[in-house]
Amino acid sequence: MAWLEDVTRHVAARVGVDAATLIVSDDDAQTLLDLAGYAAHETGERTNAPLLCHVLGRAVASGASLADLDAAVREYRP
């Protein structure tokens, strides 16, 4: 994840945000990748993967836990 950490630090510096608040842990990365795959496979639309990750990131920024969001996504039934 060297590239992701490097670009995260660059983006944080560029926009004036504390990079430590943006770094993705290995566990969170795995959860997000799993959810992205889940979104793509469940819907048949690959574009839902990055869009779901964006929604999840906004929810985490608003105070939700990634574990709760993971559960919410997986329990959703249209």
Instruction: For residue 22, give Cα distances in angstroms to 45, 47, 77.
Output: 27, 23, 30
State both tokens at 59: 């929810």
- pLDDT, residue 34, reads 98
Residue 1 pLDDT exceeds 90: no
Q: 15-61, pLDDT tens digit by residue? A: 999 999 999 999 999 999 999 999 999 999 999 999 999 999 999 99
pTM equals 0.89
Other C-beta atoms closer than 10 Å to the C-beta of 72 total 12
